[in-house]
Amino acid sequence: MIQYHPAKIKNGQFISNKKKFLDRVSNMPDGDYIHMVVKVTNKTTREFQNYYFVFIGEWAKDYGWTKSDLHDYIKAHLFTELFDEEKSTTDMTQEEWTIVFLNLENFLIGLFDTKKHINF
């Protein structure tokens, strides 16, 4: 599972809750990791929701699902993996939406295995 840790950059300084960060990484297996810093956008929850439902609507249409069924599947699988619970899109923070969009397309590619649909 991918681990996320919220932080801020202020005046060129990386500000984070060190104890929470160390608690998260203390249970991870030894090995090489990539540390990414991703800017959280300032979209509103409504803007994120609108984009999300348009985005999954296109995927659902292309693969014969209803938008509602695909949304329920994403909540049960992706949201649970990312947040350890099914979350309502109305309750998600900007940070959580950013995490969803960092993972959503790869999740859908894996779900629908689009490799077999690509012509080379």
User: How far apart are the C-alpha atoms of 77 and 100, rounded to whole Å?
Assistant: 12
pLDDT of the residue at 82: 87
Average pLDDT, the chain: 85
Give the confidence band of 117 by pLDDT, cuts at 50, 70, 90.
very low
pTM for the full model? 0.69
**CA-CA distances (angstroms) from residue 62 to 71, 82, 109, 112?**
14, 25, 12, 10
Q: Does residue 58 surpass a pLDDT of 90?
A: yes
More confident residue, 68 or 29: 68
Range name among 9-13, 51-55, 64-68, 113-117 with the lowest pLDDT average: 113-117
Measured CA to CA, the distance from residue 28 to residue 45 in angstroms comes to 31
